[in-house]
Amino acid sequence: MQVFTHFGQVANFKTESSIPIDKFAIAINSKLKKSIVIKSAEEVDDRFHSRYSVKEKTYRYTINNSKYGTALFREMEYHFPVKLNTSKMSEAAKYFEGTHDFAAFKASGTSSKSSVRTIYKAEVYEKDERIYIELTGNGFLYNMVRIIAGTLLDVGLEKIETEAIKEIIESKDRKRAGKTLPAMRTLPYKSKL
């Protein structure tokens, strides 16, 4: 089974409801806040788990790199008015690809037993004064994407050299990585089940 979700999440639950599956999304949407929309529903195997059955996730962190920012998207993107070197950020992002111990990029108090994760693809690109940091991997540690984004921001400010990313990863030292950028109203951009 392959399911792709954009700007959303996959969720699962058990129910004994008599509502037909093709009417489930409509029924649930009638009870939800306007900020949440269920796009579809399907029956899955009892062993399926929306968090642990995912093969890969893509997170997107957006930096609004314009002078004034925007009122409309201020809760969905981080406004940083100082111009960043996106080509260096893009070059540095490639060091995150592969299987690494991401201990330097996890928040203190993370409950995960292992900080080893695989990043399949790491990209930084700019469009319309916005810088997009997209990371696709098999899983992420708590605040990992926000810490990577903060580290790449320092690369864009030329406070950290692109090659230093490899050393920071190998050090497993949280103090060597950049700051944790603020939480924005973002969810996994894409999931592949």
Where are the domains positioned within the chain?
1-53, 56-192
Bridge partners, residue 123, by sequence:
134
pLDDT of residue 6: 45
pTM confidence score: 0.81
Distance, C-alpha 63 to centroid of its chain: 13
CATH class of 56-192: alpha beta
Helices (H) and strands (E) in the chain, counts: 4, 7
Is pLDDT of 3 > 50? Answer: no
Average pLDDT in the chain: 88
Tens of pLDDT along 128-155?
999 999 999 998 999 999 999 999 999 9
Q: Give the whole-angstrom CA distance, residue 115 versus residue 64.
A: 30
Q: Which of 16-25, 52-61, 81-90 has the lowest mean pLDDT?
A: 52-61
pLDDT of residue 175: 96
Q: Give the whole-angstrom CA distance, residue 141 versus residue 125.
A: 23
Bridge partners, residue 136, by sequence:
58, 121
